[in-house]
């Protein structure tokens, strides 16, 4: 009997709390938002590399007339702000919302560079094969591809090749730069040793690199790699070593 009384009291108390909150929320959110202006803008940038800084986003919003400070909440162009920010190639996703107190939040998710192309134009390629401009203030420590690289190559065969290099602990640690010569043959600049690796075309690159890997683990342990200035992999089933 006592347990039933306690349960009844707890039930009544819970109902009163819920009704009290509903009344509070109804009054709170029924206030005319035209009387509440944006007092503060909080920008949250998500990304491993800060390609855009908070000050730049503030300036972009001011120049476009979309900065929310001083705006009435019922006039806040949240969707326009999101669309405007997402027009920037460095931005993957933007979300804008406000609290009843007049604080506006803008959350921006940035794209992530996969590798850097340095040719007659410099740009990043991200993990979704999108071309990104290179901000002056941001430095991304990613693989570097130089030389005669077209955009179609950067987002095609070269993208797949860089992906393979990054997935291999050995080659990711070994290769410091990928260079495309004027004749479109690919050279690899090593981090260790002085022997340039001439890959030739990117055809069958996995088999070619496996040949060099075996040489590093077997032959170079005996004779050393500093004797050579170039390793030529263009010929089937062999490596042509060019001595210094």
Domain CATH code at residue 178: 3.40.50.11690
- Contact of 104 with 40, CB cutoff 8 Å: yes
Residues 62 and 51 in one domain: yes
Domain membership of residue 239 (yes or no) is yes
In sequence order, what E strands does the chain have? 40-46, 91-98, 103-110, 113-118, 122-126, 131-132, 144-147, 175-180, 186-190, 196-200, 228-232, 240-243
Of 81, 110, 139, which marks where a domain is finished? Answer: 110
Residues 142 and 214 in one domain: yes
Residues written for the chain = 244
Instruction: Output the pLDDT for position 34.
Output: 54
- Contact of 43 with 65, CB cutoff 8 Å: no
- What is the number of structural domains in the chain? 2
Instruction: Output the pLDDT for position 154.
Output: 95
Of 110, 145, 169, which marks where a domain is finished? Answer: 110
Instruction: Output the pLDDT for position 222.
Output: 47
Q: Is 159 helix (H, G, I), strand (E, B) or coil?
A: helix
Instruction: Output the pLDDT for position 5.
Output: 46
Measured CA to CA, the distance from residue 208 to residue 27 in angstroms comes to 72
Residues 123 and 235 in one domain: yes
Domain membership of residue 11 (yes or no) is no
Residues 214 and 125 in one domain: yes
Residues 85 and 126 in one domain: no
Domain with 52, as residue range(s), is 34-110
- On the CB side of 65, how many CA atoms lie within 13 Å of its CA? 1
- Contact of 133 with 97, CB cutoff 8 Å: no
- Per run of 10 residues, the mean pLDDT along the chain (length 244 residues) is 50 53 49 71 90 92 93 90 95 93 93 93 94 86 93 95 93 92 92 80 91 74 62 75 63
Instruction: Output the pLDDT for position 202.
Output: 92
CATH number of the domain at 96, please: 3.10.20.310
Of 86, 110, 134, which marks where a domain is finished? Answer: 110
């Amino acid at each position: 009997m006592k347990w039933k009384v306690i349960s009844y009291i707890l039930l009544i108390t819970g109902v009163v709390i819920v009704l009290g909150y509903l009344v509070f929320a109804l009054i709170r959110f029924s206030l005319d938002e035209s009387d509440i202006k944006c007092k503060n803008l909080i920008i949250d940038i998500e990304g491993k590399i800060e390609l855009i800084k908070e000050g730049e986003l503030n300036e972009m919003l001011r120049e476009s007339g979309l900065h929310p400070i001083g705006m009435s909440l019922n006039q806040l162009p949240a969707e326009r702000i999101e669309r405007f920010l997402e027009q920037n190639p460095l931005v993957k996703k933007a979300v804008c919302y406000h609290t009843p107190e007049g604080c506006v939040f803008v959350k921006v998710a940035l794209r992530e560079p996969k590798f850097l192309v340095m040719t007659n134009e410099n740009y990043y390629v991200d993990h979704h094969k999108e071309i990104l401009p290179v901000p002056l203030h941001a430095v991304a420590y990613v693989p570097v591809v130089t030389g005669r690289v077209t955009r179609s190559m950067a987002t095609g065969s070269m993208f797949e090749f860089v992906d393979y290099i990054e997935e291999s602990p050995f080659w990711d640690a070994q290769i410091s730069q990928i260079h495309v010569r004027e004749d479109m043959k690919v050279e690899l600049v090593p981090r260790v040793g002085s022997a340039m690796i001439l890959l030739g075309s990117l055809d069958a690159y996995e088999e070619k690199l496996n040949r060099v890997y075996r040489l590093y683990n077997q032959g170079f342990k005996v004779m050393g790699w500093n004797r050579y200035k170039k390793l030529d992999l263009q010929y089937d089933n062999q490596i042509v070593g060019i001595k210094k």
